Amino acid sequence: MLRKALRGILAQRPVLPPSPGRIEAIDLARGFAIALMIVSHAVSGLLGIRQVPDWGMVPIHLLTKFSSSLFITVFGIALAVAFLPKCDSPDWPRRRLKLMLRGLQVLFWYKVLTVVEMMPLYAPEDILDTLLYQRFPIWVEILGFYAIALLWIPWVLPLWRRMPLWSRLASPLLVALLAGWLERHFGFWGIEPLKAILVEDADHYTWGQLSRLPLVMVGLLIGEAVLRCYWQPAARRWLVLGLAGIGAALLMGFVAVSLPGLGEALVAVAWNVGKHPPELPFMLFSVGGALVILALCLLGGGTAAAWLKPITVVGSDALMAFIFHIVVIFLIFRFLLGYWQVFSYPQVLGFGLALVLATAGWISLTRWFRKYV
């Protein structure tokens, strides 16, 4: 009987009840991802990572490593909550087109912000090469991942909607193994940018579509659980405990694979060792911390989102937040004002924290203008 029940569960397709309202905890989690990203970009963009003191690398700069995994996972959660239930509806082609147009919008801003990032640092011919995918930027590259993903993932969401649970659970691991094998053993016909876009390359700071797809899939799975559990207090507590437990287990896994040199491993993660292409210690640390933050956001729910309103506002409009902070750091401060290595680390760190609040203010102001002007 138990075996039969287990088989029935593993054969289930996604159960996606409609959400009775906006889940602000998702905005809060995305906001934390972007806030950590803003602080990291402020430090590296105005001071340089090599100028960060040891006490700044660990623990402060170390914590920003949760950002990318959290951002990509929340991307998958948002797809599951907002679009996955509609994949079998008659108006799905219109919704799919909406996602793809959003991808083109992000792609446009990715190219614009590539110019903004590179203007203070590179010659025009280098910028042109980057726009043509001969090389890649650093600080805005995650927008490139996001844009391309929005152009093709909408086409496979209906397939995910039809997959049984066992295959959805197995898919992240299988895709991660495939991406790792391709990165190490497949030459991509000598086209280095293609390899960087798909599975990442050690010579480029890119987010590979296949190498980061497992995080999107994990987000889709969590999104299914959020739709089923968020509005039921008892079920939500179990979901929070599960996510926090898995996150803690991943962090303990990082500790286990790092011993006896845990201190050196923490410093290596802070220095982005194993981030591109992804390696096991870095991903254990980054994904583990991301899941713990996500669990805390779901636990706090709407109350935490209200208490931490600036973070929630930043997460509610990720593209605007990204545009604003890159323009302020690279166009205004670094290019126009020449503020490169002018301030100390504590000052730059304080600027990064203030920029998070300024970003929330800018988003609120633009919304007010759209509403009343």
| Of 357, 346, 367, 353, the residue nearest 53 (C-alpha) | 346
Residue 5 has what pLDDT?
63
* Bond prior to 346 in cis (omega within 30° of 0): no
For residues 131 and 2, the model is more confident at 131
Is the pLDDT at 6 greater than 70? The verdict is no
Give dist(CA 133, CA 130) in Å, integer: 5
Give dist(CA 83, CA 157) in Å, integer: 8
Residue 126, CA atoms < 13 Å, CB-side half-sphere: 10
Give dist(CA 138, CA 110) in Å, integer: 11
pLDDT band at 1 (very low <50, low <70, confident <90, very high): low
Residues 6+ apart with CB under 8 A from 44: 139
Is the pLDDT at 241 greater than 90? The verdict is yes
Sign of CA dihedral 122, 123, 128, 129: negative
What global pTM score does this model have?
Answer: 0.96
Mean pLDDT of the chain: 95
pLDDT band at 17 (very low <50, low <70, confident <90, very high): confident
Give dist(CA 269, CA 336) in Å, integer: 33
| Of 209, 217, 231, 240, the residue nearest 80 (C-alpha) | 217
| Of 173, 299, 190, 191, the residue nearest 241 (C-alpha) | 299
Residue 7 has what pLDDT?
74
Both structure tokens of 106? 């992000």
Residue 144, CA atoms < 13 Å, CB-side half-sphere: 26
Give dist(CA 347, CA 333) in Å, integer: 14
Both structure tokens of 325? 């902070």
Give dist(CA 165, CA 265) in Å, integer: 35
In the chain, domain spans: 21-372
C-alpha distances out from residue 39 to 29, 46, 147, 322, 356, Å: 16, 11, 23, 12, 8
* Bond prior to 260 in cis (omega within 30° of 0): yes
SS3 of 248, please? helix
Q: Give the pLDDT confidence of 22-53 residue by residue, as tens digits.
A: 899 999 999 999 999 999 999 999 999 999 99
- CA 27: distance to chain centroid? 13
Taking residues 301-316, report their average pLDDT: 97
Sign of CA dihedral 365, 367, 369, 371: negative
